[in-house]
Structure 1
Amino acid sequence: MRVPSWLAQHIAALRALLVLTAVLGLAYPLLMVGIGRLPGLSGTAAGSMTPVGSSLIGQSFDDDPRYFHSRPSATGYAPTATGASNLGPESVVDILSDDPETASQSLLTQVCARSLAAGELEGVDGSRPYCTSDGVGAVLAVFYRDGFTGPITRVVSVNQTGTPFLAAYQGVPVEPAVNDEDYVALGGVITPIRGDAPDQPAVPADAVTASGSGLDPHISPAYAELQAFRVARERGLDLDRVRDLIAEHTDGRALGFLGEPGVNVLELNLALDGR
């Protein structure tokens, strides 16, 4: 007896449903669970949990000098708010305002402020190129008579309302900025000033910039080394012992050649506590 075409279509659909359910709903999940139980993978699959959190997600230790500090985070290491600040390399001009909701720091000023603070904490030179001595972006708005050419008629330090970091630029006195003034709209040419900071700052880049996720649990070995003396001093430990712990908790490049070595801050701090 010939099966009606509509019934044959339903039978074929039912077969496909059963096969896909068995393969994708049972076999594949069980295979992934089995792979996650393999030696070397089981910890990561289970969340790499420690007594105080996951070693895969960074935490902030900035309020205690006895611990190694993590890199900055745009989200405050909130796992449910992962993300970056969306500020790029062209973000060099602060929004200065009396209204806290309107005012905001450029990425350059954030980097400068973090570098200055890290330098003071660790007892090193926190200066960086294109940063002022008071920790903001060293940026001028230069006004030319003919727009982008001709004699300079006015210069403003756009990120400072107090004494400018330069007294004069090409013979023209530098003015402090005024809150809520848009110097770009007024025709100023934004001009970062490099200054005399070293090409290789003492404070590493990961100490002053956040990761793309805001949850990076690692810092560079260079940033860990910068903090080693402070941690050893605060805990009364031998500096070589602290350096040994850094080496023990430094992960190499993935597959031996991808990325850079990193130090897991949470695991290192737990080791310091003997946990």
Structure 2
Amino acid sequence: MRMSTWIRQHIAALRALLVLTVITGIVYPVAVFVVAQLPGLHDEADGSLLERDGKVVGSSLIGQSFTDGNGNALAQYFQSRPSSSGEGDGYDPTSTSFTNLGPESIVDTLAANPDDADQSLLTQVCQRSKTIGEREGVDGSRPFCAPGGVGAVLSVLGPRDAQGGVEHPTKVVSVNEACPATPFLGSYKGVKVECAEIGEDYSAGLIVPVRGDAPAESPVPSDAVVTSASGLDPHISPEYAAIQVARIAKARTISEAEVRTLVAAHTDGRDLGFLGEPRVNVLELNLDLDGRYPAES
């Protein structure tokens, strides 16, 4: 009797296993595949791939960099936002990541060997903004950024007062400007500002970011100088696209109005009218530019 009950229980378990295997392992995947082939869903299900001359050139869901072999921006293309995914120019879908740097990352690690140096988030933002400003012909200066494209940060050494400040400094160092650089500020509280000696530790001083006289709102938008959470965002803001229009028009010998028309055609509004922000798909826009207004080789 016991053996019979044991057999019946295991046969019932085996039947349940077979039924669930058929449902979840065969029926459900086939049903999802069939639904995905319906008109309007097929492209998305296959990865939203984009083709040019019969060849797959990318996906509308994953950004790309438009630079030369040395990492310099190609003048005839709209530039994507920075990416920290993978080596080189980023945008590696097998290595999606973010920098994990926050607003308190303002002091660089200086080193004689560039491979051992480490830029703070502030310096990365300052450097990118300066480069983009020079490339696009706009003011790339930002608050708390030195003219040289590094974070404007001082280490103020001296006795602390009751509030933790340093009223009478004995030494002031621009911690992100390695010697023999000329510091962005001549003096601070009557003390000459010095450049930073590589290998020296200035953490004992009071770390003071200096705002400078840059405008509060930079023509270079934030998405142009910081990475997205995934590092794969294929979009830029309409504001970043707008400051690139003149360069694109000149490189392709077309009018700025023609470029703006294409930008508008590839600009998506907020989802459902209120979710997210307006955005421009860079890869789709550049492909359309190549198709309509090929750049002279």
Query: Which range, TM-score by smaller chain?
Result: over 0.9
- In structure 2, the residue matched to 1:142 is 156
Structure 1 residues 92 and 149, CA, compared in 2 at 3 Å: closer, same or farther?
closer
Partner Cα distance (2:253, 2:136) in 1: 16
- In structure 1, the residue matched to 2:295 is none
3-state SS of paired residue (1:176):
strand
Is the aligned partner of 1:254 residue 2:268?
no
CA positional deviation for 1:48? 1.1
Is the aligned partner of 1:168 residue 2:187?
yes
Is the aligned partner of 1:61 residue 2:66?
yes
Determine which of 226, 232, 248 is the counterpart of 1:209. 226
Structure 1 residues 149 and 225, CA, compared in 2 at 3 Å: closer, same or farther?
closer
Q: Which runs of 5+ in 2 are unaligned?
A: 52-56, 68-72, 293-297
- In structure 1, the residue matched to 2:136 is 122
- In structure 1, the residue matched to 2:246 is 229
Using CA pairs below 8 Å that are at least 6 residues apart, which structure has the higher relative contact order? 1
CA positional deviation for 1:80? 1.3
- In structure 1, the residue matched to 2:93 is 79
3-state SS of paired residue (1:159):
strand
3-state SS of paired residue (1:273):
helix
Structure 1 residues 40 and 255, CA, compared in 2 at 3 Å: closer, same or farther?
farther
Counterpart amino acid of 2:248? V
Partner Cα distance (1:15, 1:118) in 2: 65
Structure 1 residues 41 and 253, CA, compared in 2 at 3 Å: closer, same or farther?
farther
- In structure 2, the residue matched to 1:26 is 26
> How high is the TM-score relative to the length of structure 1?
0.94
- In structure 2, the residue matched to 1:189 is 206
3-state SS of paired residue (1:132):
coil
Determine which of 104, 125, 149 is the counterpart of 1:111. 125
Q: How does 1:47-58 map to 2 (within 5 A)?
A: 47-51=47-51, 52-58=57-63
CA positional deviation for 1:249? 0.6
RMSD: 1.7
CA positional deviation for 1:20? 1.5
CA displacement 1:37-95 (0-9 Å, x = unmatched): 34333211111111211111111113310010111111211121111122221111000
- In structure 2, the residue matched to 1:268 is 285
- In structure 2, the residue matched to 1:45 is 45
Partner Cα distance (2:289, 2:245) in 1: 11
Partner Cα distance (1:236, 1:149) in 2: 57
Counterpart amino acid of 2:201? D
Partner Cα distance (2:79, 2:125) in 1: 16
Deviates more, 1:125-134 or 1:13-22: 13-22
Q: Which runs of 5+ in 1 are unaligned?
A: none
Q: Percent identity?
A: 59
- In structure 1, the residue matched to 2:111 is 97
3-state SS of paired residue (2:208):
strand
- In structure 2, the residue matched to 1:5 is 5
Deviates more, 1:31-40 or 1:42-51: 31-40
Q: How many residues align?
A: 273
Note if contact 2:165-2:206 (Cα within 8 Å) is conserved in structure 1.
Answer: no
Partner Cα distance (1:94, 1:155) in 2: 16
Deviates more, 1:173-182 or 1:126-135: 173-182
